[in-house]
Chains A and B, each alone.
Chain A
Amino acid sequence: AQSVTQPDIHITVSEGASLELRCNYSYGATPYLFWYVQSPGQGLQLLLKYFSGDTLVQGIKGFEAEFKRSQSSFNLRKPSVHWSDAAEYFCAVGAQGNEKLTFGTGTRLTIIP
């Protein structure tokens, strides 16, 4: 069975500082990996995805993520955060031919001025 771990429940960073959100997955084959962001009371917006190929993936809003098979990780990064990045971030894993996504528990990001 596939699973996702986001070890950080809550992270606080200063505006303009760099950000890294951690995600570790467990899956027997090559996973499909996603990062979604959720603002309060809203649905999930896709930030980026990894299916295959280049292990460094670029997404929207200046985010990127790196797939590391040896570490079973797919960490999300941003070089300089903006106050509007405050939200909850979810890492998810999917499988080929199966629409079901398994989500991590999320990391809530707070930005301080």
Chain B
Amino acid sequence: KAGVTQTPRYLIKTRGQQVTLSCSPISGHRSVSWYQQTPGQGLQFLFEYFSETQRNKGNFPGRFSGRQFSNSRSEMNVSTLELGDSALYLCASSSGTSGRDTQYFGPGTRLTVL
């Protein structure tokens, strides 16, 4: 099976802009989670989508949002970018149905905000 794919791999934006990141899960996986990784805060959970519904949410401001499509692909959007949003954004997929799932991660999107 193909792994989790994320596009684009690298992105440069300026403050105030918005950005959309995409994640395609492993075939058959219905849960997609997003994480932000920074040197200062480490890996932090953003949100999780399952069957097009947000099922879990981390402690991030409303500028961070996401959605999931019927084919389980997911996008996350960050509006009004701030310098502190510069990070590696990781997407993970799992079956989402067993209650004891393993999450498989994509290579990430490196976002730089100037």
B63 contacts the other chain (CB 8 A): no
CB distance from B82 to the nearest CB of A (A): 23
Closest B-chain residue to A106, C-beta based?
Answer: B42
- Pairwise interchain contact A99-B31, C-beta atoms closer than 8 A: yes
Residues of A within 8 A of B33 (CB): 99-101
Residues of B within 8 A of A34 (CB): 102
Residues of B within 8 A of A51 (CB): 100
Known contacts A96-B100, A99-B31, A100-B58; decide if A43 and B108 are in contact (CB<8 Å): yes
- Pairwise interchain contact B99-A43, C-beta atoms closer than 8 A: no
Give a binary string over A19-62; 1 marks a CB under 8 Å from any B CB, 0 the rest: 00000000000001010100001111110010100000000000
Majority secondary structure, B binding face: strand
Residues of A within 8 A of B103 (CB): 46, 94, 99, 101
Known contacts A98-B56, A99-B56, A100-B56; decide if A43 and B106 are in contact (CB<8 Å): yes
- Pairwise interchain contact A32-B105, C-beta atoms closer than 8 A: no
Residues of B within 8 A of A41 (CB): 110
B114 contacts the other chain (CB 8 A): no
B87 contacts the other chain (CB 8 A): no
A-B contact count, CB below 8 Å?
Answer: 58
Inter-chain CA distance A92–B90, complex, in Å, is 15
Give a binary string over B19-48; 1 marks a CB under 8 Å from any A CB, 0 the rest: 000000000000101010000001101001
Residues of chain B in range 61-114 having any CB-CB distance to chain A below 8 Å: 90, 92, 94, 96, 99-108, 110
Residues of B within 8 A of A101 (CB): 33, 35, 43, 45, 92, 103
Known contacts A100-B33, A101-B45, A106-B42; decide if A42 and B107 are in contact (CB<8 Å): yes
**Residues of B that sit less than 8 Å from A by CB:** 4, 6, 31, 33, 35, 42-43, 45, 48, 50, 55-56, 58, 90, 92, 94, 96, 99-108, 110
* 17 sampled A-B residue pairs with Cβ under 8 A: A36-B105, A42-B107, A43-B4, A43-B6, A43-B90, A43-B105, A44-B90, A46-B102, A46-B103, A99-B31, A99-B55, A99-B96, A100-B45, A100-B48, A100-B56, A101-B43, A105-B42
